[in-house]
Amino acid sequence: MNNVIKYLLLLLVININSVELSAQGKKEKYQGLLWEISGNGLKKPSYVFGSMHVSAKLAFNLSDSFYNCIKNVDVVALESNPEQLQEDFSNSKMLKITAMGVDVSNPNSTKRGAFTINNYKDILKAGLVYQPQMINHLLYRSYASKEDFEEDTFLDMYIYQVGKKLGKRATGVENFFESEQLMLDAFKDDANERKKNKNREYASTTNVVNMEELMTDAYRKGDLDMLDSLQAKQSRSTAFLEKFLYKRNDNMFHSIDSIIKTSSLFAGVGAAHLPGDRGLIKLLRKAGYTVRPIKMTNQLSNEKERLEKVNVPVHYTDYNSEDGWISMRVPGKLFNFSSITVLNQLQYADLANGAYYLVSRVKTNALELGQNEQDVYKRVDSLLYENIAGKILSKQQITNNGYVGFDIKNKTRRGDLQRHQIFITPFEIILFKMSGTGDYLDSGAADEFFTSIKLKPLATGAWSTYTPFYKDYSISIPPSYLQGNYNSLRNMGKRIELSAVDKNTKNSFLLVTKTWETPNLDEDSVELSFAEEAFLESEFVKNVTKRSTFNYKGYPCLQVQTANHDHSTSITRFILKGNMMYMLSTRFTGNPQQANNYLNSFEFKKPQYGKVEKYVDTALYYTVQTSVQPNSLDEINELINTMYSPDEAPNNTIANGKSREFANDSTGEAVHVGFYRIGDYTSYKDSTAFWKQVLDDYSGYVIMRQQKSMKPYGEELVVHVRDTNSLRNIMAKVIIRQGTQYYLTSVYDSLSGPSEFVQTFFNTFTPKDTLIGKPLYASKSAQFFEDFYATDSTTKARARAYVGNFVFRDEDAPQIIKMVQGMTSSEKNYLDVKTNLMYGLKSIKHPAILPFLEKQYIDANDTTRFQYAVLSTLIAQQTKESFDITKRSMLKETPIFSNLGTFAYLTDDMSDSLQLAKTLFPEMLQLTTMNDYKVPIYTLLAEMVDSNIVSTASYQDDVNQIAFDARIAVLKAAARELNNQSNEEDDQDDEDDAPVSASKSKEEADEELSTYATLLFPYKNTNKNAARFFEKYEQIKNPAQQISLAALYLKNKQTFPDSTLQKIADQPLYRMELYRALKGIGRVDKMPAKYTKQDEIALAILYANIRSYDNIDTIVYLGKQQTTYKFKPAIVYFYKYKKNKLDATWYLATSGIQPVNTKEINDNEQLTNFTNTMLDEKKPLGEQFYKALRKVKYRYRYIDNDNVFYSSVE
């Protein structure tokens, strides 16, 4: 909220010249920061003071009158009640918006490090050095670069502290949440106003430095008139100020008016709230109060120094952590603001004394890393000097119930004393910190806090069965354990960990559960492999010794055994159940019996959610019975959208929606609710068409069952789908009510089925009676046509802009025709609108369409854009009559397009139905006399010849012309080839040592020559002109062209020289292209035997993946490695490559997959990639192969620093 307030104050500042002009000639009415309120029946005067929300010294030029006023009142108030501020902020919407800025990605998404056991060093350093943002906001508002020019707190909080030290009661003059909502509404109103007044110029905030200087000068002088003037001239918008300032002024006035009738008051509020016709001073005067300024003289008052030595008494209460590990006494409630940081941290700010208390818990996973408490102690000790603020005054080793730790006292650079106690347990590092202004910690408050800290001792005894809160599983563990929801590294995402240690054997046990959210269902094997790969990234893992897959309790399971760097062994088991991935890991030395007992004790249970309650969603218009509440971030997302996006116009032309997620992080179960207001121009012909589209969304899945029904609120479809080779299913419910659509989805496992929570949610979900929008199946054409000609310019523009998206019906054809005929070139966007209207006829049928199009084509004359639109629409009609009109029209009036490739788009559309395209020939061959038409028409004809749609006799009369055109094309190709060869020789002479890029030397086949070859091959032995073409064609040296010719000859059982095939295969860039061409015609037997070996095929696949813009030079084989692909063994080949022949740097490349049997081959390239990962000559190749292969396997699953999820190549 401070940022928003500061932003507003900055908005009030403008260029100095503007200030002088606006203030010139205006009578000064508001001079001064301190104002007395009297009269109107008051027994004692009250005061209002214009504050700045900063700690800069300029704001602290305070006089005796300032302190005397506070001494003489009963109550001190700030805008919000400071004694309620921490509680308020813990529930703040603005804070949640800030938290979303910390990590905008979904914490439950399957990120790269989902199951990686990370080193705790970085998070420990953060825990040592971090001063929480909320503490700084509440107490200091200081900045490191300005701390020598700042006071110990900001002015508002100083007013509260003075009041408390003088024994005054505290309150606020506005409700925190009402004020916050007004601020949020102000941004929304501002966006709406800006939309309505697009041409208006609004205040600029670009010259921040100048604005701050002007604000400082105005405040230093107490010149509220200047602030008022700036406010009027340079407001963000009138709508913004209405909520952000004026409505809040009204609320403050009513609060002040109420308080001063019974108690005298000193209220410190932002200075911008005081002046102006709608400011607090004017509002108080209107209410009958006398409000006069009090001069603040004697600004060197010693009262400030005296009060700084006064401490406000604090009262300690007992605190016990939820997991029972920590007990202590604290002076107030501990608040959790971890959402705006990466730390698991609790804090309390003693605002009156300017002190704060922190409890930070750093999960170390030291047991899995192979470290004991002494190892962690040494690591902590090594970090203290660099990460404790200022100078360490003392450091002592201490213990607490058997846990070793540190007691540290330090003094910051600005002279504040701090104290830390840090303890190391087998599971975590617990940091206790207290900081105060100056020497406050010497007052005894620190001793009372630190001596009260007690940690739970490690338990001993027999193992027992552990069940989590929702009882969704059980497992046998030792009595010493720690369980928590951790987010210790931002890229790891949220996961729940249960760690345990057996004090006798020193074996450790870890259970990690993580919601496994993916946008699409993958095969179970893919999901398990991804989780495994994440775990194997852990730094303590040396290598994998065993790996197996099986079903555990019926669920897909992957188990991996690793040898660790500390000579211990880990067995880790991954189990996928519905939307939750479980990782059970145990680290041990010697006998694995205890480890196996732990792993096999895991049991799935039916989750118990508790009470089912009715939830009413007023924003999405439904009710439901649920035991899980919605994610609060959904509401925050909508809030952000409304803050910065204007309201939609009442007549929405496109669908817009909102969503809710009812998710339980502990069990992984979730129901997603989507609400869509269907666009006012969207309609479906009938129910069948709509539900077909819904089911088409699941075309990539196996639909197990579906049930469509009619409910009182509308139509409803429930569908269950799954992926192949997966036990995970999606249950979806789609509801249509009037002009709205609801979409419910949930992932469940097929063994146990949807849980009671999910079933209850789906069964009780009920849209409210509110009717929104227009019926989905009703034609929207009448409304669209009316809007198309509307007198309101906005409505008219919106309809015309939507023409290309509107789905017309058959009966709309006469009206569309009328609209096209009635348009004139003077209308706005005439060309776009008219062509889009014609395109609207593509998908509908009506007897008037074809006659209209034929006439429209003639009327278009040489306007080729309209001619193209007519031809495209005719072809889209897909009837013999429409193709006859197309042929007749083009032969009568052949369009000359400005773009040489335009006609090719039409022949592509014609090829959608080769049987209909057949009717265009042979007449269409007449157009081949024009270059623009030659290649597209020949290409279409060749496609029909190759598909046996037309006989070769159908173009027999045109063979000589085709052969003539073909000979010209082949001669041009030969000339280009000769010219390129000459240029290459010249370049080689000039730069014998210059690097040659493999990617730039590859040639592509000329598709035009291939087309001619297809058409002329049937006449090769009977037509001399055709024979002459092939004679010249066979001389072309381009390997890609030779491959095309070889495929044509061999497919038609004509010989092709083995020597030429050998020369082609000798070139790695063309080897795979040749292999695939031969494979495509069933003649792999013609591939030279030398290159049918697996290693040669693998190299060929790698070369085939060089793109034209890649800079790839030398490629050298390094080795191969067995991996798994969809749980099947496979081989991947590894290479090193350079980007430039003269470079010293090598990079890693992969090619795969190949069969484990090296005598077998395939052309599967899904694990083929130039990784751009540098080869490290000092590290073992096997280690680098593994990391490179992981990068390739999941290169589509995480990108952009792991923040975006995509499917894996598996």
Q: Give the contacts of 401 (CB within 8 A, at least 6 positions apart).
A: 454, 455, 456, 457
DSSP state of 557: E
Residues 117/369, Cβ–Cβ less than 8 Å: yes
795, amino acid identity? T
pLDDT at 1179: 87
32, amino acid identity? G
| Tokens (6 digits) for 764 | 């009780």
Residues 82/157, Cβ–Cβ less than 8 Å: yes
60's torsion region: left (phi>0), alpha (psi -120 to 50) or beta?
alpha
What distances in angstroms separate CA 1113 from CA 142, 940, 1146, 1149, one per listed residue? 55, 39, 10, 12
Q: In this model, does residue 1100 exceed pLDDT 90?
A: yes
Q: In this model, does residue 812 exceed pLDDT 90?
A: yes
Q: What angle do CA 1037, 1042, 1043 make, to 5 degrees?
A: 145
pLDDT at 53: 66
* Nearest residue to 327 (alpha-carbon basis) of 453, 224, 435: 453
User: How would you label 135-165 residue by residue, b for 16+ Cβ within 10 Å and e otherwise?
Assistant: bbbbbbbbeeeeeeebbbbbbbbbbbbbbbb
CATH entry 1.20.58.710 includes domain 464-604: no
Q: In this model, does residue 52 exceed pLDDT 90?
A: no
Q: In this model, does residue 309 exceed pLDDT 70?
A: yes
Lowest-confidence segment of 761-770, 898-907, 1065-1074 by average pLDDT: 898-907
Length of the chain: 1210
Q: In this model, does residue 1073 exceed pLDDT 60?
A: yes
As a three-state string, the secondary structure of 1013-1044 is HHHHHHHCCCCHHHHHHHHHHCCCCCHHHHHH
pTM assigned to the model: 0.79
Separation CA 359–CA 319 (nearest Å): 12
DSSP state of 631: P
| Tokens (6 digits) for 49 | 């003071």
pLDDT at 479: 95
- The secondary element (H helix, E strand) that includes residue 1150 is strand 1147-1154
Q: Which segments within 244-390 are labelled E, that is strand?
A: 265-270, 290-293, 317-320, 326-330, 335-336, 344-350, 355-363
Lowest-confidence segment of 40-49, 504-513, 635-644, 929-938 by average pLDDT: 635-644
- Provide the residue ranges of all domains of the chain, joining segments of one domain with +: 2-79+173-307, 311-455, 464-604, 613-680+719-767, 1093-1205
Lowest-confidence segment of 125-134, 377-386, 536-545, 604-613 by average pLDDT: 125-134
DSSP state of 848: T
What distances in angstroms separate CA 593 from CA 37, 505, 571, 596, 941, one per listed residue? 81, 11, 11, 5, 73
Residues 30/224, Cβ–Cβ less than 8 Å: yes
DSSP for 1035-1084, written as a single string: T---HHHHHHHHHHHHHTT----HHHHHHHHTSHHHHHHHHHHHHHTT-G
pLDDT at 130: 77
The domain defined by 311-455 folds into Protein Transport Mog1p; Chain A (3.40.1000)
Confidence at 17, pLDDT banded by 50, 70, 90: very low
pLDDT at 986: 54
Q: Give the contacts of 483 (CB within 8 A, at least 6 positions apart).
A: 323, 466, 468, 496, 497, 498, 499
Q: Do domains 311-455 and 464-604 have the same CATH topology?
A: yes
Q: Which segments within 589-630 are labelled E, that is strand?
A: 603-604, 613-617, 622-626
Q: Which residue do the tokens 């919605």 mark?
A: 630
Give 310-353 pLDDT, tens digit per residue: 899 999 999 999 999 999 999 999 998 877 776 888 999 999 99
* Nearest residue to 871 (alpha-carbon basis) of 826, 920, 934, 828: 920
Q: In this model, does residue 188 exceed pLDDT 60?
A: yes
Could you give the residue ranges of the DSSP H alpha helices within 474-551? 524-536
User: How would you label 1002-1015 residue by residue, b for 16+ Cβ within 10 Å and e otherwise?
Assistant: beebbebbbbbbbb
Q: Give the contacts of 653 (CB within 8 A, at least 6 positions apart).
A: 679, 680, 681, 798, 799, 802
Lowest-confidence segment of 292-301, 885-894, 1090-1099, 1125-1134 by average pLDDT: 292-301
pLDDT at 1086: 96
- The secondary element (H helix, E strand) that includes residue 404 is strand 403-411
Confidence at 64, pLDDT banded by 50, 70, 90: confident
Give 245-292 pLDDT, tens digit per residue: 899 999 999 999 999 999 999 999 988 899 988 999 999 999 999 999
Tell me which of 787 and 487 has the higher pLDDT. 787
Percent of the chain at pLDDT above 90?
58
pLDDT at 143: 43
pLDDT at 460: 87
Percent of the chain at pLDDT above 70?
85
Helix (H, G, I), strand (E, B) or coil at 757: helix
| Tokens (6 digits) for 244 | 């952000």
Q: What's the mean pLDDT when you consider all of the chain?
A: 85
Helix/strand/coil percentages in the chain, nearest 5: 40, 25, 35
Mean pLDDT of the 82-99 span: 81
Mean pLDDT of the 558-568 span: 95
Residues 430/127, Cβ–Cβ less than 8 Å: no
Residue 1049 phi/psi, 5-degree rounding, is -65, -50
Mean pLDDT of the 917-940 span: 93
| Tokens (6 digits) for 31 | 């001079």
Give 151-177 pLDDT, tens digit per residue: 446 788 889 999 999 999 999 999 988
Q: In this model, does residue 196 exceed pLDDT 80?
A: no
| Tokens (6 digits) for 741 | 């659509």
**Other C-beta atoms lying within 10 Å of the C-beta of residue 843:** 13
Residue 818 phi/psi, 5-degree rounding, is -65, -40
Residues 915/949, Cβ–Cβ less than 8 Å: yes
What distances in angstroms separate CA 191 from CA 237, 584, 793, 853, one per listed residue? 9, 51, 21, 46
Q: What angle do CA 1199, 1202, 1207 make, to 5 degrees?
A: 55
pLDDT at 742: 95
Confidence at 57, pLDDT banded by 50, 70, 90: low
| Tokens (6 digits) for 208 | 């921040």
